Amino acid sequence: METKKDWYKDAVVYQIYPKSFCDSNGDGIGDFKGIISKLDYLKDLGVNTVWISPCYPTPDKDNGYDISDFDNVDPKFGTMEDFEEMLEEMHKRGIRLLMDLVVNHTSDEHEWFKSAIQGKDAKYRDYYIWKDPVNGGPPNKWGGDAIGGSAWIYDEKSGQYYLHVGFHYQPDLDWENPKVREEIANMINRWFDRGVDGFRCDVINMISKDFDAPHPGDGPRLHEFLHELYEKCFKPHNAFTVGEVWDLPPEDSLMLTHPDRGELTLAFQFEHMRVGREDGKRFYPAEFKPHDFVDVLAKWQKGLNGEGWNALCMENHDQPRCLNRFGNTGKYRRESAKMLATLLYCQQGTPFLYEGQELGCINPIFHTLEESIDIESCNNQDILVKKFGVEETLRRFSFDSRDCGRVPMAWDDSENGGFTTGKPWIKLNDFYKDINAKNELAAADGVYGYYKNLFKVRAANKTLMRGDFELLKNADGEVVFRRFLEGEKDVYVVLNYSEKKIKVNKPCKGGKLMLSTHQRKRLDENMTLKPYEAMIVEA
Ligand code: NOJ
């Protein structure tokens, strides 16, 4: 693979949740060989980079985000040879691979932690964060995954607490310890030696902590630790890294990603994911206002302009389907899927999409509490049931649980959606008979075909690939923005973000239609846009 410096700017990144993508051996769990069998599908879509969620050995309490061995692959996905074959097959097709880097914590079944818990003198004790009790209780007030509980777990044997910022079986590594940092850097480089191209870095702003601060994360040595990894690992391998960080304003995000700083390549922003949730909180839906959603996206375009680069993302394994949150899951499913893709991927930045998004997938329905298995839902279940009753809790799970995007990818309308010949590890999507890859590819107005055309149009247009962004209109469903780049023609994106017909003017003099969600043939001075209609116009 060529190693152009800014290759991340040309990337179209597709996230694979390996447990749910494609099962080749009938055990009900997706695997590497399953992924290999779908690489042509991805290539054809216009994908040139894959981010694979964790595929390392794990007790699987958080679907692999609880790693027990950083240097191997979990046998349920195949062998290391299968992994290497997958990587080779990706590279043959010009597809790069980003691994998931989960190094804020390990599983409590990692050898390091199994040693650390043995006692104060254990070999790996100082790889984790241990503190003496303060006033007979936890060292500070940080909350844990049990609602109302502490992030500190008391270890009777040694009389000390250890920290877990994530779920209780995910003890935090102590990044203040240089040995930990060295182990992690060496491990990352071993993956580079195996040929991987970069990393998505899980909760990466948590690695440095200020124990006196109200919340963990964004501690005083964060930038130093990341710069160290950059120098030792990312820079020598011209890697693409994208950080998962929550709730940082654009100026702080730039501190992590500005090219002059030598830390990460990109950082996700999730501010738009909070729109349509009461106080931004999962399971608490509020009225969704498209205007606010667009405004947040535009804020980030402006905030990073000229200095950083956006990671354009509206779905991942922790989020429900974008159509349930920001679009329409019924009559205008396909239309709103195409409009949202046009809105997001015509902005400046690198597109990220999550498996099934290119099909316009919608959330499954959780009919019973037992069907909803994700730890975050389980942790919230009692409180929600107490407050709202079972039916409403299930409605909220079906709207907003992490399982919504984790149900098996639907490849066709056969049994189990063509995902497995066995029993799937999690329920199927209730809608797989209608919404699946086979149908979507065959339909003249299918979502997959539109995504493919959109990525093609984007890749061939310098303004869309590199240009600046300016929001021109965002009112009453009409959204218009302009992309511009010196020496190139301007590009206008015109959208109807509503279920009504709206009247719009041609965005510029002359103009050529580059892409339309509704097979529109011509541009007129005054146009009536159908619900969720979108178009891209070159001036
Ligand atoms: C963020 C990941 O995206 C999520 O799935 C996981 O549960 C937590 N980090 C803990 O690793």
Which atom of ligand 1 has the smallest separation from the CA of 375?
7
**How remote is the CA of residue 100 from the centroid of ligand 1, in Å?**
10
CA distances 426 to 134, 151, 336, 375, Å, are: 42, 29, 27, 13
Instruction: Assign 1 a pLDDT band (cuts: 50, 70, 90).
Output: low
**How remote is the CA of residue 200 from the centroid of ligand 1, in Å?**
11
Give the whole-number percent of the chain exceeding pLDDT 70. 99
Annotated active-site residue in 244, 355, 358, 376 = 244
d(CA 206, CA 173): 10
Q: Give ∠ CA 218-312-8 in degrees, rounded to 5.
A: 85
Give the whole-number percent of the chain exceeding pLDDT 90. 97
Which atom of ligand 1 has the smallest separation from the CA of 402?
5
pLDDT at 2: 47
State which H helix or E strand residue 109 sits in: none
pLDDT, tens digit, for every residue of 502-539?
A: 999 999 999 999 999 999 999 999 999 999 999 999 99
Q: The whole model's pTM is what?
A: 0.98
d(CA 382, CA 466): 48
d(CA 336, CA 224): 43
Of 239, 222, 220, which is closest to residue 230 (Cα–Cα)?
Answer: 239
What is the average pLDDT score of the chain? Answer: 97
Asked if 163 contacts 143 with a C-beta cutoff of 8 angstroms, the reply is: no
- Using a 10 angstrom Cβ sphere, with 0-12 exposed, 13-18 middle and 19 or more buried, the burial of residue 439 is middle
Instruction: Assign 369 a pLDDT band (cuts: 50, 70, 90).
Output: very high
The residue nearest atom 6 of ligand 1, judged by CA position, is 65
**How remote is the CA of residue 427 from the centroid of ligand 1, in Å?**
21
Which atom of ligand 1 has the smallest separation from the CA of 167?
10
SS3 285: strand
d(CA 69, CA 58): 7
Instruction: Assign 345 a pLDDT band (cuts: 50, 70, 90).
Output: very high
pLDDT at 138: 97
Pairing mode of beta strands 152-155, 160-163: antiparallel
Secondary structure letter of residue 312 according to DSSP: E
The residue nearest atom 11 of ligand 1, judged by CA position, is 65
Give the least confident one: 138-152, 167-181, 411-425: 138-152
d(CA 173, CA 159): 19
**How remote is the CA of residue 487 from the centroid of ligand 1, in Å?**
43
SS3 429: coil
pLDDT at 3: 56
Sorted by sequence, the CB contacts under 8 Å of residue 303 that are 6+ apart come out as 249, 250, 251, 253, 254
Annotated active-site residue in 202, 218, 228, 403 = 202
pLDDT at 500: 98
pLDDT, tens digit, for every residue of 49-78?
A: 999 999 999 999 999 999 999 999 999 999
CA distances 112 to 90, 117, 126, 368, 405, Å, are: 33, 9, 10, 38, 32
Which atom of ligand 1 has the smallest separation from the CA of 105?
11
Active site residue 358: no
Pocket around ligand 1: residues whose beta carbon is below 6 Å from it?
Answer: 62, 65, 102, 166, 202-203, 244, 317-318
Rounded to an integer, the average pLDDT of 358-382 is 96
Active site residue 202: yes
- For residue 125, pLDDT beyond 80: yes
